[in-house]
Amino acid sequence: MSPIDKESALRYHQLDGKPGKLSIHPSKPLETQLDLGLAYTPGVAYPVLEIERDPTLAYDYTAKGNLVAVISNGTAILGLGHRGALASKPVMEGKAVLFKKFADIDSIDIEVDSTDPETVIAVTSAIGASFGGINLEDIRSPECFYIEERLKSMLDIPVFHDDQHGTAIILGAALTNALEITGKRIDGIKVVFSGAGAAAVASARHLVRMGVPREHIWMCDIKGLVYQGRQEEMFPEKAVFAQGERPAKLAEVMTGADVFIGLSAANIVTPEMLQSMNLTPVIFAMANPDPEIGYTLAKQTRPDAVIGTGRSDFPNQVNNLLGFPFIFRGALDVRASTINDEMKIAASRALAALAREPVPEDVLKAYGLCHIEFGIDYVVPKPLDRRVCLWEAPAVAQAAIESGVARIPFDLEKYRASLEARLLK
């Protein structure tokens, strides 16, 4: 893969004299006077009156059911911190085009120019009726927890903070398979987190739901161990994972760990820290662009480990792209009122199962590889594997049905066939 430098990135965003990455195209004919009359006045009066009579008909007569808003205030832009709402727009446009490319979901980015959580909530809730789902993005911790929970209680459509749940869901899949490979039981492992922000807290919560005992999770941040009674740099969601009664450094906490999960900063883990872990450890160092310990150094230090990063140029990339397009695809297609825990777990399990299947030739070609198979260097599917949607979206939709949050009927086999026809053209 060619290196991505500033010049090539800026040129890409201005390609063909069209700034940005999004455009809007009509989905109905607009060639004749009759077309114009149907598309606008007087034809629009009829769906207007029908929707006033029955608001659910907005799903039948408008694009609402396949439309997601990507909303940010730019307070936690991927790896860049607080850069402001307008500066977040390239990232949000990027999110929108990934929705379209990978799951045929129409999406529009909305940047809210406020650091006040109440303003973000008010703006999002006021426009929520226009959309089938809300994807919150790059909103700093701890405000992101409050914003998401408030909006979930106010809106009857899926509200999903991807910085939290996207990472957690892919991590859940990766850990499931890593534990199978290493022969460790999910209820018997010691898990150490470096990082205690949105992604780390949500990942820890998700792992608990998947079977890791909460008391087996040790969370560290820039101040060290999150321990019981600590006052500095604390908030309620983090405090749930407090362990021990005294301060400790990450190096001390990692001794005897089975799993290391890095969602923090580059190059803060040493070979000595990895050597203090148990046999056949699982090491997911996911700080971007540079992990907590370099992949090559980690591999040299612990050749017995399952190692993953957030990068595409090393094995076992834990990447949100494996999650959000397909989770929303399944949720939208059954008109789910929310994305609940059952749906998130179903997504993790579907991804884990797909990674155990033979890898088709088109995926190998996309990555310039001759062979991939389930094992120490392949615990999650590749993001460019077109089968991901066919496995994950139906699993999410089925979980929505079974947990009672879906609002339309669902036939699993017909749904899979329709997805294949739609996305594998």
Q: What totals of helices (H) and strands (E) does the chain contain, helices first?
A: 18, 10
- Is 184 an annotated catalytic residue? no
Give bridge partners of residue 260 from the DSSP assignment: 192, 283
CA angle 241, 243, 247 (to 5 degrees): 120
Other Cβ atoms less than 10 A from the Cβ of 378: the count is 20
How do strand 191-194 and strand 259-262 relate by DSSP bridges? parallel
**Tokens at 60, concatenated:** 């039948």
**Among all chains, which residue has been given the structure tokens 């007569």?**
61
Check 12, 40, 46, 61 and give the catalytic one.
40
- Is 59 an annotated catalytic residue? no
Query: Which of 145, 171, 220, 134 lies closest to 344, judged by CA?
Result: 171
Q: Three-class SS of residue 358? A: coil
Query: Which of 274, 253, 402 lies closest to 340, judged by CA?
Result: 402
CA angle 316, 319, 321 (to 5 degrees): 135
Check 21, 64, 89, 95 and give the catalytic one.
95
Give bridge partners of residue 159 from the DSSP assignment: 134
Q: Torsions phi, psi of 262, nearest 5?
A: -105, 120
Beta strands, E only, 317-413:
none
Q: Torsions phi, psi of 192, nearest 5?
A: -115, 125
Distance CA 141, CA 235 (A): 9
Alpha-carbon distances of 393 from 164, 176, 230, 378, rounded to whole Å: 19, 19, 41, 21
Residues involved in catalysis: 40, 95
